[in-house]
Amino acid sequence: MSQDLNTQLNELLEKAFAAGTEQYHELGFKRRVGYGSRPAIIHIDMANAWTREGHAFTCENMDTIIPACQALNDAAREKGIPVIYTTTAYDITDRSKASDMGLWSSKIPVELLAEGLDAVKIDDRIAPEPGELVITKKRASAFPGTNLQQFLTVNRIDTVIITGVTAAGCVRHTVEDAIAEGFRPIVVREAVGDRVAGTVAWNLFDIDSKFGDVEPLSNVLDYLNNLPKFSETTTP
């Protein structure tokens, strides 16, 4: 998409969101779920297939998203707050055989996401540190079929700070499942990406209206920096 068309689209979206925000407020939507006292960071699919150039799954704006994730990691690790990563990978990528890709391979080229490939490894610019959880998922959301909910529950997490890709897919579905399971979803505006113009803006507006709080990086960092050490906190 040309720069002129992208500018026009952004202007139209801003007008639509302004009107939509007013309407939603009148209807009682766009309330705030707020921050809790024991957060975890969850980076959704920040693996090379999505963060590096030249892949079918490559997403835009990594020059903004990667530094935002780095800043969140630094703040979280300083307080001992858990940092969690997900990637999406499959053991059987031959579409002629029974496979763990399911019907998703009928829609998108998940056969390119074979377990063990460099493409499905977390981007080394935000590499997990020893002891940090890396979850391999098969679906859009990070919850079904994984141990994420168990990890959050056992460690008394009440807030999930979510970054990653894509806004329309895996980020959105993770947010929807998080609030459904009783965790407060906070989506970091500068740390979410996608591929098609307008997709991030629309999905962040809709998430903020119905499923979680979309917050600027500065607010989230202030929240993290003002928390006590994770080991010293308790749930309400």
Give the torsion sign (CA, 167, 170, 173, 175).
negative
Catalytic residue (choose from 68, 170, 186, 217): 170
Q: What is the DSSP letter of 125?
A: G
59 counts as catalytic: no
Sign of CA dihedral 124, 126, 128, 129: positive
- Which residue, among 133, 203, 147, has the nearest Cα to 175 in the 3D structure? 203
The CA distance from 160 to 120, in Å, is: 23
What lies within 8 Å, CB to CB, of 44 at 6+ separation is: 86, 142, 162, 163, 164, 165, 170, 171, 174
Opening angle at CA 215, ends 152 and 229, nearest 5: 45
Active site residues: 170
